[in-house]
Amino acid sequence: MADQFNTYTQTGELDSVQHRVLRNTYWLLGLSLIPTAIGALVGINMGFGFMAASPIMSSLLFLGVVYGLFFAIEANKTTTVGVYLLLLLTFVLGVMLGPLLQHTLAFRNGAQLISLAAGGTAVVFFSLAGIASTTRRDFSGMGNFLMVGAIVLMVAVVANIFLQLPMMQLVICGAFMLFSSLMILFNVSQIIHGGETNYITATLGLYMNIYNIFVSLLQILGIFGGERD
């Protein structure tokens, strides 16, 4: 009887930790969208001539900055410094949306495409997060498969920085949408089943999934739905 009571107590404590991590993750995720929006407004009004002059170097520099911040966030994930670094990352990523948003707004229906991409991203996220939160299935087992997918995608991204193939970029966008969607299932499932107990790390993962889906969807919509004057 005592063993059963201890089991129930441990289960209750675990559920409490999981709910706290999930709540804090969603709270920080919502907060992270504010610097992203501010950064996007800054990016829309910036000139990115340096990127046009040297696209390969600027792309590699961007990747270096982003992955440097990833490392710094993980190194400080148990302190408030990690939160500030995460918000800094979201601001930087918002600024780097500038060229894509400028390109999209050049279309006659550019604002509609951006709204559609944002709405589509929200639908995908809330639908998959809801599935992962309510189903009994543990999606954590997809970890190895997703690791291989991440490596393949990164190789493809770096290769296309040099190749600059439009068709390959379209394929990469589609692959990122699928990969990021599966990652949402994986990340939320990790929290629900106790595999992830740090809300800063959890927020970083979910934020990058949302960001990648939005960027990929907006590029695809621009290619197939952009209307020139």
φ and ψ at residue 140, rounded to 5 degrees? -65, -20
CA distance 128 to 180: 11
Distances (CA, A) of 205 to 66, 103, 117, 195, 198: 13, 27, 20, 13, 11
pLDDT at site 222: 93
Residue 42: partners with Cβ closer than 8 Å, 6 or more residues away: 94, 95, 98
pLDDT at site 102: 94
φ and ψ at residue 188, rounded to 5 degrees? -65, -40
Crossing angle of helices 2-44/166-192, nearest 10°? 150
Residues 139-159: tens digit of each pLDDT: 878 888 899 999 999 899 888
pLDDT at site 157: 86
CA distance 158 to 18: 36
Whether the Cβ atoms of residue 191 and residue 202 lie closer than 8 Å to each other: yes
Question: Residues in the chain with pLDDT < 70?
Answer: 1-15, 49-50, 52-53
Q: Which amino acid is it at 48?
A: F
The structural domains of the chain, with segments of one domain joined by +, span 2-225
Whether the Cβ atoms of residue 222 and residue 107 lie closer than 8 Å to each other: yes
Q: Please report, for the chain, how many H helices and E strands are present, in that order.
A: 9, 0
Nearest to 212 by CA among 146, 162, 159: 146
Helix or strand or coil: residue 76?
A: coil
- CA–CA–CA angle 142, 93, 184 (5° rounding): 20
Residues 75-120: tens digit of each pLDDT: 999 999 999 999 999 999 999 999 999 999 999 999 999 999 999 9
